[in-house]
Chains A and B, each alone.
Chain A
Amino acid sequence: MNANETLIKVENLQKYYNGGAIKALDGINTEIKQGEVVVVIGPSGSGKSTFLRCLNLLEVPTGGSIFFEGTDITDEKTNINVHRQKMGMVFQHFNLFPHMTILKNMIIAPMKLRKKSEAEATAMAMELLKRVGLEDRANAYPSQLSGGQKQRIAIVRALCMEPEVMLFDEPTSALDPEMVGEVLEVMKQLAHDNMTMVVVTHEMGFAKEVGTRVMFMADGKQVEEGTPAEIFENPKSDRLKQFLAKVL
């Protein structure tokens, strides 16, 4: 796919709970282009995680549409599993499979879903492990790793499926402070390699440095959107000013 081509298009996305009493997402519209790093920020409860989880339908939206590579994935006839293979996801709590070794964690999806041979999948997994400096932990189990290591593994596990886009749901929020850096470093590397990324995070430094676009959400709405410079140096809405005053 070429650069600047739209990868994900979100139209009037809504997610209601309790029959509309709680509007977690209230009409989100955005386009995510190939190679973009979209950082979603906002106070807790603003719907940013819900937005991210709607993108691969882990949360089923109440209304609106999401187009991924031109296909409406919110259509009930769409086989979401095929599209999820191209959307890697990294969770706050890593969610590695505790009953499998690191290597098995990484190769199971490519082997079962992409029909890769074990040798092929292993070669790719080892290559990725080398990139994040964890090739010596291939045969360890998740419980033997630190939080930062687990999250780096979670990232490369998603990469093993060769996704078009990577979704990060507060990837550093559950980490000890000294481990945040190593995970952000891997993410920066990914952005540098032109991976399309959507990142929900509280790391404003990362947003400023790596983000190509920042989306500020509050109360289920996208309040402001723009380049990091626009958002951080020249905020327009009061809501964003308040938020930045608290976090910066």
Chain B
Amino acid sequence: MSLKEKFIFNFIQDDRWRYIADGLAVTLKVTFFAVLLGIVLGIIIAIIRSTYDKNGSSMRGFSKFILSVLNLLCKIYLTVIRGTPVVVQLMIMYFVILVSSNNQVLVAVLAFGLNSGAYVAEIFRSGIMSIDQGQFEAGRSLGFNFVQTMRYIIIPQAFKNVLPALANEFIVLLKETSVAGYVGLQDLTKGGDIIRSRTYDAFMPLIGVAIIYLVMVMFFTYLVGILERRLRNSER
């Protein structure tokens, strides 16, 4: 068979491209919501951890106790998540924790979001710690409370500093979702796999899937580049 015939056989015949298209939709959906969850979780953890690092020693009484406990919980979470493979976490989520759920998309979003949150937290923490203490003091001296200072002054600057690392984490996450097939979710990779099992041809579906991932990552990298330039321009 020529390449063209192979292509038609693998993707066009019997509308097999639908596996790819549906899989792509699932991959994007899982990645999008997992990123949202990861960022929200990551910011909260980063704020707790950096607050503890910066102010923990000067705090007193009850608030110090609460902060210490939260910091400890965050540390445990980070250690466990970063110390175990994401595939194992995904399977634990599906076969152990949410055993009664048939919603694989939800399971995947939770597993990948919780996983990503750990990495995003450390990225954001380094971003927050890189902001000069004077910025924090200036905010507080104007009368902003802790949360307002974080929201209006620290986080926007930290976000700009960590954008490249954050983009990288998004790219990693997008590709990591390819293991979602382990819990029976028909994502992009699984879609290609199904075609392979039907046509007994490995080349076309696998290369096709690889190219789609590559194009998505390249497109996203391009978007981040634009965003980074725009944020940088605002300081000149």
Q: Could you list which residues of chain A lie within 8 angstroms of chain B, going by C-beta atoms?
A: 56, 58, 60, 76, 81-82, 84-85, 87-89, 91, 93, 95-99, 108-109, 112-113, 141, 143-144, 157-158, 161
Contacts and interface: CB of A to CB of B under 8 A. Distances in A.
A97 B152 CA distance: 10
Contacts of A56: 141
Given A98-B157, A99-B156, A99-B160, A161 B143 contact: yes
A60 B58 contact: yes
B234 A91 contact: no
Interface stretch (B105-113, B132-140, B167-175, B219-227): B132-140
Contact of B144 (A76, A81, A88, A89): A81
Interface string B137-159: 11111111100100011001100
Contacts of A87: 141
A91 B142 contact: no
B5 interface: no
Interface of B is mostly: helix
Interface-centre pick from B139, B142, B144, B234 (highest chain A CB count, 10 A): B142
Given A56-B141, A87-B141, A113-B148, 7 more contacts: A85-B143, A89-B137, A95-B134, A95-B135, A108-B152, A109-B144, A161-B142
B236 interface: yes
Contacts of A157: 142
Q: Which 4 A-B pairs have the closest CB atoms?
A: A85-B143, A95-B138, A89-B141, A95-B134
Contacts of B144: 81, 109, 112-113
B235 A141 contact: yes
B134 A97 contact: no
| Size bracket of the B interface | 20 to 34
A120 to B, nearest CB: 17
A88 B143 CA distance: 9
Contacts, number: 68
A161 B138 CA distance: 13
Nearest to A93: B134
Nearest to A60: B58
10 contacts: A81-B140, A81-B143, A81-B144, A91-B134, A91-B141, A93-B134, A95-B137, A109-B142, A157-B142, A161-B143
Contacts of A109: 142-144
B153 A97 contact: yes
Nearest to A105: B138
A132 B236 CA distance: 22
A89 B132 CA distance: 17
B142 A85 contact: yes
B160 to A, nearest CB: 7
Contacts of A88: 141
Contact of B157 (A99, A112, A141, A158): A99
A87 B61 CA distance: 26
Contacts of A113: 142-144, 148
Contacts of B61: 76
B112 to A, nearest CB: 31
Given A97-B153, A112-B148, A141 B236 contact: yes
A99 B145 CA distance: 19
B235 A98 contact: yes
A60 B58 CA distance: 8
A84 B143 contact: yes
A76 B156 CA distance: 30
A141 B234 contact: yes
A143 B134 CA distance: 16
Given A60-B58, A95-B135, A98-B157, A143 B236 contact: yes
B142 A144 contact: no
Nearest to B62: A76
A168 to B, nearest CB: 12
Nearest to B139: A97
B137 to A, nearest CB: 5
Interface-centre pick from A99, A143, A157, A158 (highest chain B CB count, 10 A): A99
A88 B138 CA distance: 10
Contacts of B140: 58, 81, 84
A71 to B, nearest CB: 15
A148 B90 CA distance: 57
B141 A58 contact: yes
A158 B142 contact: yes
B211 to A, nearest CB: 38
A99 B141 contact: no
